[in-house]
Amino acid sequence: MIHVLAVPCRVCMVLVLASLAVLAGCSSTELPTLPTTGNYGTQTTDPSKYNYIIGPGDSVQIFVWRNPEVSQSVTVRPDGKITTPLVEDLQASGRTPTQLARDIEKVLETYIRQPIVTVIMGGFGGPYSEQIRVVGEAAKPQSIPYREKMSLLDVMILVGGLTQFADGNEAKIVRVVEGQQQQYRVRIDDLLKDGDITANVDMLPGDILIVPESWL
């Protein structure tokens, strides 16, 4: 015969409350808040000086002055490289359009005297490291290509706001600052529900926005 040990309901309740207390203690750790839009503080990147970085899947048009036979539109391969006439397996991902143009000129110097190259962007996406990723209780979690001076409100509009289960004021941004990963608390509920514009902050390339689920 198998004997089942019955645990009093009061004991179960104590265990549940103890578990919730531990979780509450973990979630109550204060994170630094980000400066409001326009105040960049100690951030290492100024959104107004952002330069677009080419990523896999981007479309680039390469124009070589007076040399139409080597001018061509190409798509950056998944490995981040491109191949055009006279230019084989050149790294494009992680470069700005201007940097890529100078790289192509160096390769073409072997075949063309003083080549002048212009790179024109067609499609935009950028590398994942430059995109803003939204996870958790957003209505439409996704990766978003960064745009100059993009704010938290802009990101919320793109992801369709929050779910009914979200704890927006406990959301956080994970950001790399001077090679170190930092976390910052943001107040999405105050921004969306109360219209508190002081809760709007600048987003930067590579930010990860994490929206937790409410416990209540």
Contact 156, 177 (CB under 8 A): no
CA distance 186 to 139: 17
- Domain limits of the chain? 31-39+128-211, 59-121
Question: What integer pLDDT is reported at residue 47 of this predicted model?
Answer: 75
Question: What integer pLDDT is reported at residue 72 of this predicted model?
Answer: 96
Question: What integer pLDDT is reported at residue 29 of this predicted model?
Answer: 60
Question: How is residue 57 written in tokens?
Answer: 């899947």
pLDDT tens, the chain, 216 aa long: 444 444 444 544 545 445 544 444 444 467 777 666 543 333 335 677 788 999 999 999 999 999 999 999 999 999 999 999 999 999 999 999 999 999 999 999 999 999 999 999 998 899 998 999 999 999 999 999 999 889 999 999 999 999 999 999 999 999 988 888 899 999 999 999 999 999 999 999 999 999 999 987
Question: What integer pLDDT is reported at residue 20 of this predicted model?
Answer: 47
Residue type, 204: L
What CATH code would you report for 31-39+128-211? Answer: 3.10.560.10
Q: Tell me the β-bridge partners of 118.
A: 63
Please list, in sequence order, all residues whose beta carbon lies within 8 angstroms of the beta carbon of residue 138, skipping any fewer than 6 positions away: 156, 159, 160, 161, 162, 163, 166, 209, 211
State the DSSP H helix or E strand holding residue 157, giving kind and residue range, or none if neither: helix 152-158
Architecture category of domain 59-121 in CATH = 2-Layer Sandwich (3.30)
